[in-house]
Structure 1
Amino acid sequence: MKSYYKYICAAILAISCASCKKYLDVTPENVGTIDYAFRNRNEAENYLFSCYATLQQFVYLENNVGFTTSAEVVFPNNVTDFRGLDPVGFNLIRGTQNTGNVGLNFWDGTNGGQAMFKALRRCNTMLENIDKPVDLTLDEKKRWIAEVKFLKAYYHYYLFRLYGPIPITDVNLPINSPEEAVKVKRAPVDSVVNYMVRLLDEAAPDLPVAIQNQAKELGRITKPIALSVKAEILATAASPLFNGNPDYISLKNKDGKALFNATYDATKWDKAATAALEAITVCEANGVKLHTFIPPGNIPSLNDSLKLELTLQTAITEKWEINTELIWALNPTFGRQGFCTPRFTALSVVNAFSNPGTFAIPIAEQELFYTNKGVPINEDKTWDYTNRYTIQAGDEANRYYIKQSYETVKAHFNREPRFYADVAFDGGIWFGNGIYNPESPFYVQGRGPSSFAGPHDNVNINITGYWPKKLVNYQSVYDDGFQAVDFHIPLIRLTGLYLLYAEALNEQGKPFAQVIPYIDRVRTRAGIPGVVEAWNNYSRNPNKYTTKDGLRQIIHQERRIELAFEGQAGWDLRRWKETQSVLSQPIQGWTVSEEQSLNYYRPRTVITPVFNVRNYLWPISDDALLHNSNLVQNTGW
């Protein structure tokens, strides 16, 4: 519809990427008329880049609701704009959200949120004009159409997870449309889901199963990505937040049309299971498999413990081109490694701008990780849960995880490998940062103000005493300045897909013997016993996995551990309606200003969260409601 836009926006937000030669590294600037933008293949390809542009902005985890509202990582509350990072997303769990000033507003594109409806209009413009370039081949045209349909589905999905029922933006309205046509209404949940799935079903056949020219096209959408997102969408639609949720029975459009189904529909899990299995099948058929660390030449020998730890770490930080389990990641590289890194040397304190270390893991999050027997710490009958905060010195048996003779707490001993791979703690070993001798690595010294604050800091930077080690490449060096070895934050990994399928099978009511093998694929790679072995031999509740409810708890905890700090847990907690229980307790850390271990290891409250039922769905801003009288506000706002 040529009349909808006479001119495109003069410049689309630049994307930060690793290499200027890679696909999606740049977006068109100073684009003229639509006819000019689609006059030939090259110009049309530039417009295709602009359809991807909003997607690439999701690389900033501080603007990802799934990351900042999960209580996996918290941020100091006495800073406003910290070294280029706006903490508005982190502050949401403090109850800052309101309809007059919506934090991470993806509806209007303000306060850290991307303008999703503008992104959808760009996609529609692309589809409306795709026939204009005469030098575009048929195969290219089919692929580009499929990519844009995927992007439309994903942008709708992002809005759907936040706001629930949303207006479906299928076509652009002509600029001369009557006022009532522009005042769009929200579509019911099932209509939105069906629309997103239809787009993905249309897109998948025309997408490549893998990127062949990685140097040029890495980051473009593939068939495995589309099928995996379809499985996610259907699992989200089948989950308690959207499937027969009684909290939203009264949410209706102004014409009385109900936006939520009041009745639970078990067949939605059937659809999710089918989609997840299809995604797994296609992924595995095209070379996707669990990652294993292969030591480079500068690390001549590693013990089995460190090999496993590095396998788990590099499942996230390995180069995209050779990471076999990475189904989808964002094209820009992760730029917040310094926020996840402790300060190891005097130079790193003096030059603390490069590694402020501000991303802090609460005590409750680190306690989510299993013991080395593969069961929760409060279930393991061989683990001293009651005395977990008593002081214990590092010993020979744990020297690859905890500094020998260093005083820490018992809670840090005899934990699963993912704990040591993902979490940095006082006394914990840090392999890397330029030191690759396993017998003389760095270790974290997290006590006292000098360990946290540099000469330009007036706050204790890490407010809990734990860092998300998982989000730092072991090859990155933070010292006098910094030399970060970049990586791409995953959006979907094969382990997440396995656990999603296990969840769908369990919700279908399948026997545990059919469900557990997909959980055990993840657990085996993580170096812990399978579910049956672990619960039978070590749990105080050995029959837990034999019931649907018990196995549900196991799957949920497994997903929260395996996908920790990847921007996924917050979305899962929302769709499960478990966020309220997670945020019902004060968020605690250690007394980080103290230097003596007995004083340091005293839990203290760092945040008192504010969350109730209304917070499961984002509010629509007062301004949006004022301009569109057909919109209705989400329940409770």
Structure 2
Amino acid sequence: MKTFKQIIATAVVGCSLISLTGCDFLDKSPDDQLNMEMVFSDKIRTEDWLASVYAGIPSPMWGYMTNQGYNIMSDDMVIPIEWSPYGWNEAYAYTTGNWNPSSTWNANYWVELPKRIRTGLIFLNNVRVIPSEGLTQDYVEQMKNEVRFLNAYYYSLMVEAYGAIPFAPGRLVSPTDPANEMMLEQTPVDNVVDWIDKELLDVSKHLPAVYENNQDWGRATSIMALAVRAKTLLLAASPLFNGNTDYAQWKNVSGQNLVNL
């Protein structure tokens, strides 16, 4: 029969072993926290990141018609007052002349679109070819061109809504950068449009016109790139931004005119 001292010694050794293995267990990295290396080493996660760049596209119904209210500003439709309680109150105000500088605008471009552009830049900087994961050279290049299209499209939406915007394509600011380095002055409309024009023209040469697999329908195509390019050039050539003397005093901090006079 074991003595009391033997029992104590056995218990001490057992506890020591438990504590050692416990340390190893607790020292493990959390497997529910992803980093960039983990995301872009996996095809599904890489495609999920790409999908998050697409997520900034406005809904044709609740985006353009309701939040932006663009259809209301044309002769396409008339909103009855009965619809105003269902989120169409601002759109209805356009038709009655009750929209003013204090009215809200629900498109949320200023907050959301820069987020999507940043997400796209992170994708471009991190996606890589990993044949064993199904990330072939051709597929990676296709996804990169999709993101290039999306970022150019988002810039075109911002020009459409705001005209001159802070603009630094390809620049990925770190959250730790000084605040003064994050602040950008507005870039003249023509400069932004010129970049969008060249970017979409180049991207259109590398994207397919159609996708054979119906699971890919909705992804960026060369036709989409050329359509957005044409629409942006048409906007820039319109009287709103071309020769509009109402903007004669609209200049950035460097003294540049923001609209072509």
Q: Distance in 2 between matches of 1:86 and 1:31?
A: 40
Q: C-alpha separation between the residues in 2 aligned to 1:205 and 1:239? A: 27
Quote how far apart the aligned CAs of 1:32 are: 3.7
1:96 maps to a residue whose letter is W
CA distance in 1, matches of 2:250, 2:118: 27
Q: Tell me the SS of whatever aligns to 1:206.
A: coil
**In structure 2, what is the equivalent of residue 205 of structure 1?**
205
C-alpha separation between the residues in 2 aligned to 1:80 and 1:231? 34
Task: Determine whether 1:116 maps to 2:113.
Answer: yes
Higher RCO (C-alpha 8 Å, min separation 6): 1
Give the equivalent residue in structure 2 for 1:253: 252
2:45 is aligned to 43
Alignment of 1:118-157 (within 5 A): 118-131=115-128, 135=133, 136-157=135-156
Confirm or deny: 8 A CA contact 2:90 2:104 kept in the other structure: no
Q: Given that residues 236 and 242 in structure 1 are in contact (C-alpha distance below 8 angstroms), is that contact kept between their aligned partners in structure 2?
A: yes
- Contact kept, 8 Å, 2:84 with 2:92, in 1: the verdict is no
1:178 Cα deviation (Å)? 1.6
Among candidates 62, 66, 73, match of residue 62 of structure 1? 66
Counterparts of 2:124 and 2:217, CA distance in 1: 22
Alignment of 1:574-593 (within 5 A): none
For 1:184-333, what aligned pairs fall within 5 Å after superposition? 184-214=184-214, 216-262=215-261
Distance 1:39 1:56 in 2: 30
Structure number having the greater helix percentage: 2
List alignment gaps of at least 5 residues for structure 1.
Answer: 1-29, 110-114, 263-637
Question: In 2, distance between residues paired with 1:191 and 1:167?
Answer: 11
Query: What is the Cα deviation at residue 250 of structure 1?
Result: 0.9
Structure 2 unpaired stretches of 5+: 1-31
* Shift in CA distance, 200/31, structure 1 to aligned 2, threshold 3 Å: farther
Kept in 2: contact 1:167–1:185 (CA 8 A): yes
Q: 1:225 and 1:193 mapped to 2: Cα distance?
A: 17
Q: Which amino acid is the alignment partner of residue 72 of structure 1? A: D
* Deviation by residue 1:461-519 (Cα, 9 ceiling, x = unmatched): xxxxxxxxxxxxxxxxxxxxxxxxxxxxxxxxxxxxxxxxxxxxxxxxxxxxxxxxxxx
- Secondary structure at 2:76 match in 1: coil
1:50-89 equivalences under 5 Å are 50-55=52-57, 57-60=59-62, 61-77=65-81, 80-82=84-86, 85-89=87-91
Conserved in 1, the CA contact under 8 Å of 2:68 and 2:107?
A: no
C-alpha separation in 2, matches of 1:160 and 1:254: 19
1:35 Cα shift? 2.8
Deviation at 1:92, TM superposition (A): 3.6
For the residues of structure 1 that align with 2:156 and 2:33, how far apart are their CA atoms?
Answer: 28
Cα pair 2:72 2:79 within 8 Å, conserved: no
Distance 2:115 2:91 in 1: 21
Quick one: which amino acid aligns to residue 55 of structure 2? A
Compute the TM-score of the two structures, normalised by the length of structure 1.
Answer: 0.33
Compared with structure 1, are the counterparts of its residues 219 and 59 closer, same or farther at alpha carbon in structure 2 (3 Å cutoff)?
farther
Distance in 2 (CA, whole Å) between partners of 1:52 and 1:92 is 29
Q: What is the alpha-carbon distance in structure 2 between the residues aligned to residue 45 and residue 181 of structure 1? A: 31
Looking at structure 2, the residues matched to 164 and 54 of structure 1 have their Cα atoms a distance apart, in angstroms, of: 19
Deviation for aligned residue 1:245: 1.3
Q: Deviations over 1:207-248 (max 9, x none)?
A: 01211112x111111112212221222122112111111111
2:99 counterpart residue number: 96
- The answer on whether the counterparts of 1:62 and 1:90 sit within 8 Å (CA) in structure 2 is no
Q: CA RMSD in A?
A: 2.3
SS of the counterpart of 1:89?
Answer: helix
Distance in 2, Cα, partners of 1:129 & 1:241: 39
Task: Measure the CA separation in 1 of the matches of 2:240 and 2:129.
Answer: 43
The number of equivalent residue pairs is 224
Please tell me whether the aligned partners of residues 167 and 192 of structure 2 are also in contact (alpha carbons under 8 angstroms): yes
Task: Give the alignment's TM-score, normalised by structure 2.
Answer: 0.77
Whole-Å separation in 2 of the counterparts to 1:119 and 1:223: 21
* Match in the other structure for 2:20: none
1:450-489 alignment runs, 5 A limit = none
Going from structure 1 to structure 2, the CA distance change for 1:234 and 1:78 (only over 3 Å counts) comes to: same
Native 8 Å contact 1:58 1:64 kept in 2 = no
Report how far residue 63 of structure 1 moved. Answer: 2.3
If you compute each CA radius of gyration, which structure gives the higher value, 1 or 2? 2
Q: What letter matches 1:124 in structure 2?
A: L
Residue type at the aligned position of 2:149: F
Assess, with a 3 A threshold, how the Cα gap between structure 1 residues 31 and 59 changes in structure 2: closer, same or farther. farther
Per-residue deviation, 1:257:
1.7
More strand per residue: 1
Deviations 1:548-592 (A, max 9, x none): xxxxxxxxxxxxxxxxxxxxxxxxxxxxxxxxxxxxxxxxxxxxx
Aligned-pair identity (%): 28
Q: Hey, what does 2:13 align to over in structure 1?
A: none
**CA offsets 1:362-397 (integer angstroms, 9 cap, x no match):** xxxxxxxxxxxxxxxxxxxxxxxxxxxxxxxxxxxx
